[in-house]
Amino acid sequence: MFNFAGKILSLTAVALLTTTAIGSAQSMDELVAAAKKEGQLTTIALPHDWCGYGALIDGFKKKYPEITVNELNPDAGSSDEVEAIKANKDNKGPQAPDVIDVGLSYGPQAKTDGLIQAYKVSTWDSIPDSAKDADGSWYGDYYGVLSFMVNKDLVKTPPADWSDLLKPDYANSVALAGDPRASNQAIQGVYAAGLGSGATDAASAAEKGLAFFKDLNAKGNFVPVIGKAATLAQGQTPIIIYWDYNALSGRDNLKDNPPVDVVVPKSGVVAGVYVQAISAYAPHPNAAKLWMEYLYSDEGQLGYLKGYCHPIRFNDLAKNGKIPQDLLDKLPPAAAYEKAVFPTLEDQGKAKDEITKNWDSVVGANVK
C-alpha cells in the first residue's frame, strides 16, 4: 500500500540515536519515572477534532496525571511546527514543542536539518517499513484521503469530482483547509486537484493543481478562507477540501446542524500519511518518548481510528483481531479507497516546492 523513499541518516541524527524504549538502556518503568519527573509534555498543532486527538490527549492525561500537557497553537500547519522547533532551539520554556505531527514530506527535511531526534517505540516492528525512517527519526502515525465536506443546506447537489467544483453552481463555495503556502493538507489538496485534472506525475500534478485553483479563483468559486467545520456551518465555506477523517469527525460534531455530506472524489484520490517526531531540542524528552509509546500502543492506535483516521498499525491490529467491528462499520466503504494514490516522498517534495513557491504568482489568493 505504501511507497515511500528513505533518507540517509544525518550526523546530527546519529549523535541523537537512542535505543528502543523497552531496550537495555531504558525500561518502560524507567521511562515512565523519568517522564513523570519532567512533569510536562508540550505539543503543537493538535486540534481536538483532528483524528481523535481530543480523546487521545485526555487518555494520556488520565494514564499519566503527573504530566501536564501544554498545547501550543492547535491550528498551526506543518511548516509552523518545524519553524517552532527552529525558533526555540535555545528555549526550554513553554513555547518550545517537544513533539510534532507533520505531513510526510516534512519528516525527512526536519531530519536533514538536525531538528528531530531518533527514537524507536516498542511497537516499532509493526509499523510498515515503507512508512518510517529506518533510524527512527520519524514514523507514520495515521493516514486518510482527501474528500469534499459539503453543507447540504446550502449545496443541494454535492460535487462528485474535482471538475464539478468549477461549475457555476458552486460560486463562492469552495475552500481549502489550510494555507497552501504552509499547510500540508492544503498542499495535498492542490496536488489532488492536479491528479483529478489528468496529471500523471508529481511535477505536472503541481502545475495542473495550481492551474485548477487559478481557474477556480477566477470563476469566483474559491473562498480564500481556511475552512473548518465552524466556517462550513456558518455558510462561509459551504464546501471544504478536507482529509476524510476531519470531514467525518466534523459531520458527527455538527449533529445535522447543518446536515453534511462527505464525498470521496471519483478521481484524484490522494492518501496522505502524517508522521510523528521528537524535537532534537525537546525540553521534556522522556515525556515525548512516553507520548510516542502511548500513540503507538494498541490503545493509541484505536484512538486514531475512533477519530476516523486509519492508524499506521491498522493491518497489524486487524490481523490480530484487535479492531472492534463497530469502529469498522463507521468507516466509509472500502471501495471509496480503491483508487487512492500514496505519493512518494520524492513526489511530495517536488509538489510542495512547486505549490508553495508559485501559489501567489499563479493563483493570487491570500488564504487566511
Chain segment 310-323, per-residue pLDDT in tens: 999 988 998 899 99
Count of domains observed in the chain: 2
Q: Does residue 286 carry a pLDDT above 90?
A: yes
Q: Are residues 234 and 278 in the same domain?
A: no
Least confident of 2-11, 138-147, 287-296, 355-364: 2-11
What are 264's three cell numbers? 470521496
Q: Are residues 262 and 341 in the same domain?
A: yes
Question: Residue 260's beta-bridge partner residues?
Answer: 151
Q: Are residues 17 and 87 in the same domain?
A: yes
Q: Are residues 338 and 204 in the same domain?
A: yes
E strand or H helix that includes residue 109: helix 106-112
Task: Determine, yes or no, domain membership for 299.
Answer: yes
How confident is the model at residue 19, as a pLDDT?
Answer: 36
Task: Determine, yes or no, domain membership for 6.
Answer: no
Q: Are residues 34 and 74 in the same domain?
A: yes
Task: Determine, yes or no, domain membership for 4.
Answer: no
φ, ψ of residue 118 in degrees (nearest 5)? -85, 140
Task: Determine, yes or no, domain membership for 34.
Answer: yes
Q: Are residues 209 and 282 in the same domain?
A: no
Q: Does residue 13 carry a pLDDT above 70?
A: no
pLDDT tens digits for range 200-233:
888 899 999 999 999 999 999 999 999 999 999 9
The residues near 366 (Cβ < 8 Å, ≥ 6 apart) are 224, 360
Q: Are residues 170 and 292 in the same domain?
A: no
Contact 206, 212 (CB under 8 A): no
Q: Which CATH number does the domain housing residue 352 bear?
A: 3.40.190.10
Q: Are residues 209 and 108 in the same domain?
A: no
How confident is the model at residue 229, as a pLDDT?
Answer: 94
Q: Are residues 104 and 209 in the same domain?
A: no
Q: Does residue 328 carry a pLDDT above 90?
A: no
Q: Does residue 288 carry a pLDDT above 60?
A: yes
Instruction: Give 339's pLDDT tier (boundaries 50, 70, 90).
Output: confident
Least confident of 137-141, 157-161, 171-175, 318-322: 318-322
Choice between 80 and 338, residue whose per-residue pLDDT is larger: 80
Q: Are residues 16 and 28 in the same domain?
A: yes
Task: Determine, yes or no, domain membership for 3.
Answer: no
Region 136-149: mean pLDDT is 95
Contact 143, 310 (CB under 8 A): yes
**Average pLDDT score over the chain:** 90
Contact 351, 359 (CB under 8 A): no
Q: Does residue 2 carry a pLDDT above 80?
A: no
Q: Are residues 83 and 154 in the same domain?
A: no
Region 9-26: mean pLDDT is 36
E strand or H helix that includes residue 30: helix 28-38
The torsion of the CA quartet 249, 156, 235, 305, rounded to 10 degrees, works out to 10
Region 159-183: mean pLDDT is 97
What are 101's three cell numbers? 505531527
Q: Are residues 70 and 106 in the same domain?
A: yes
Choice between 11 and 351, residue whose per-residue pLDDT is larger: 351
- AA identity, residue 298: D
Which residue range is the domain that position 64 belongs to? 11-143+272-329
pLDDT tens digits for range 68-116:
999 999 989 999 999 999 999 999 999 999 999 999 989 999 999 999 9
How confident is the model at residue 344, as a pLDDT?
Answer: 84
pTM score: 0.77
